[in-house]
Chain A
Amino acid sequence: MNVAAPVARAPRTEPTVVASAARVFDLSLGQMLWSRRSVFLAILLGGPVLLAFVVRVLSAATRFGPMQINGARVGGPAVFGMMIWLLYIRFIVPVLGVFYGTSLIADEVDDKTITYLFTRPIPRRAVLLGKYFAYVACTVLLVLPSVMLVFFLVVPSGGGSIGEGFPSLMKDFGMLAVGLLAYGAVFAFAGARLKRPLVMGLVFAFGWEPGVMLLPGYLKRLTVAYYLQALVTHQMPQDSAVSMIMQVFHEVPSVFVSLVSLAVIIAVALWAAGRAVEGREYVLDQ
């Protein structure tokens, strides 16, 4: 051990929150991408691809005949739109948000590595922000290939055109990214503030949201899904009786209102999460 080795003195100017968050992002992204959680969720994201493959095979078997959903004849682009809304926006994006968002800090606490981040000259909220952006990058990287594969498998079925559907695909990516940002921020707050964030997150995503979305009134405005549905570019088939009844209560805000509302949700949730992390003590098990 070279005890006399000189060590350079670090500068002592406090880095900004954004600069600190960027460095935490660098540190966290690789850890997040290669975690067991990412492997599990990558397998989950294979589900829609498998389904799309089945759709493609069935469509080929019927010699590109139109598919029927709820009695309505639909083409590949409409099936793709339904998969985006029902599988990705209403299921996969909230699942990713819950599992990553609630564990942004909890994972470091469980692994007992939080000490290394909280004993550096950066505000704790920068740690949360850096890990939040690592979550966004990680989940986008997981979702993107899955959606691309589903698009290329499903859209040509029933006579759809990949070229015509491409602009819509870009909008879907935008919507998925906004969904990941919004759910991630909400669940980051839950993770920072609540004692059982995973359970509460699952109840919110799969109990509260689907429940109040079916009810008339203002409660649905207290969901993320309500604002996300305004960003859906695809027309859903509405021929069944249930769909007709649901149409009566169907209320969709404008794209502008949705985007502003989602931006407010993200900003407020992240601010509150940062505040919670700043004031909380993390006692590690010895």
Chain B
Amino acid sequence: MTNVIAAEHLSKWYGQVIGLNDVTLTVPSGITGLLGPNGAGKSTFMKLVTGQLKPSKGTITVLGEPIWQNPRIYFSLGFCPEQDAFYERMTGLEWVTALVRLNGVGDREAADMAHKALESVDLLDAAHKKIGAYSKGMRQRVKMAQALAHDPDFLILDEPLAGMDPIARRKTIRMIKDWGRAGKSVLVSSHILHEIESMTANILLINQGRILAEGNVHQIRDLIDEHPHTVYIKAEQPRGLAREFLAHDDVLSLRFEDDAVVVQTARPDAFYARLTDLAASGAIGTIHEVTSPDDNLQAVFQYLVKA
């Protein structure tokens, strides 16, 4: 198995602040999850991997080549950043086409590739709508489309499921797994173990700028299951959803926030599966957004660091 990323004593400082601290690791081909709470160093690592930042110390190679000031490597890389930033006045198709054109593709071919990429993320119906009018989930999906439109060998996804509705989330997870099966490599970051674990068992645990563990970490999973998991669901009928949730004993608590319901569950796997089925049935109206704060993961990391 070849390595897609190799880092040696990799460090990054922002003035006096340490973003990443003396990280040595290799990431094999296939799907790898980068898991850590907000502020753990995930984004710094992603930016170093995508050549947006230069290492303060140490080295990093991606697909066997140094990434900093090496634009040629972006033929083989697709990057879906975390930030919700777009050219709002462009349509999804125009935007993806314009970005694919930067890969040296002709106009018509770029439009075809953008079209196919939008189709693959189920956004073809909204291809001619302005991005400014997209929902949060659609914006996530158009970001994915621009990352995969040029058919890269290695896809880097920074919090790709954030804000997606349950159905889009399930389909995106399936798509990422299909990518892995097709021989592509994917590095995907999240602060939710449940999300990462549904894509891969190969996980990098990062906290406070250091890699705490890497590989198949089922023990971590057991540990996380001991802590309640919080889920924020923005929906058309939050009270109807709450009634459905209360019928199950894994739901520990419920509270309402504007047009959302915040749930604490002891079994995130079962909860997410139920939520996806509910969304698919349409019985309780539309679910707009599902997010999870990282409090539960933070608690586990604190436990790990103390241990």
Evaluate contact between A10 and B103: CB separation under 8 angstroms: yes
| Known pairs A9-B151, A27-B98, A121-B103; A112 contacts B69 (CB<8 A) | no
- Of A200-208, A229-237, A275-283, the one contacting chain B is A275-283
Contacts of B104 in A (CB 8 A): 10-11, 13-15, 19-20, 121
Contacts of A13 in B (CB 8 A): 104
| Known pairs A10-B103, A19-B104; A286 contacts B43 (CB<8 A) | yes
Evaluate contact between B116 and A113: CB separation under 8 angstroms: no
Using CB atoms, name the residue of chain B closest to A121.
Answer: B74
Taken together as a complex, chains A and B put the C-alpha atoms of A209 and B104 apart, in Å, by 42
Tell me the number of A-to-B contacts counted with CB atoms below 8 Å: 130
Evaluate contact between B52 and A115: CB separation under 8 angstroms: yes
Taken together as a complex, chains A and B put the C-alpha atoms of A8 and B100 apart, in Å, by 11
Evaluate contact between B98 and A26: CB separation under 8 angstroms: yes
Contacts of B71 in A (CB 8 A): 14, 120-124
Does B14 sit within 8 A of A, measured CB to CB? yes
Evaluate contact between A3 and B171: CB separation under 8 angstroms: yes
Nearest CB of B to A33, in Å: 10
| Known pairs A1-B171, A5-B119, A10-B100; A121 contacts B75 (CB<8 A) | yes
Nearest CB of A to B145, in Å: 10
| Known pairs A5-B116, A5-B120, A122-B102; A10 contacts B75 (CB<8 A) | yes
Evaluate contact between A283 and B101: CB separation under 8 angstroms: no
Does A119 sit within 8 A of B, measured CB to CB? yes
Does B191 sit within 8 A of A, measured CB to CB? no
Nearest CB of A to B293, in Å: 15
| Known pairs A121-B71, A281-B54; A1 contacts B151 (CB<8 A) | no
* Pick from B73, B100, B112, B122: contact of A2, CB under 8 Å: B122
Does B50 sit within 8 A of A, measured CB to CB? yes
| Known pairs A1-B174, A14-B71; A112 contacts B83 (CB<8 A) | yes
A-B contacts, 15 of them at CB < 8 A, read A2-B120, A3-B178, A5-B119, A6-B116, A7-B148, A10-B151, A15-B103, A24-B102, A111-B85, A112-B85, A113-B85, A118-B51, A119-B74, A120-B74, A279-B69
Known: A2-B120, A8-B112, A116-B99. 14 other contacts (CB 8 A): A1-B168, A1-B175, A3-B171, A5-B119, A8-B113, A9-B151, A10-B100, A10-B150, A15-B102, A30-B90, A31-B89, A118-B52, A119-B77, A121-B104
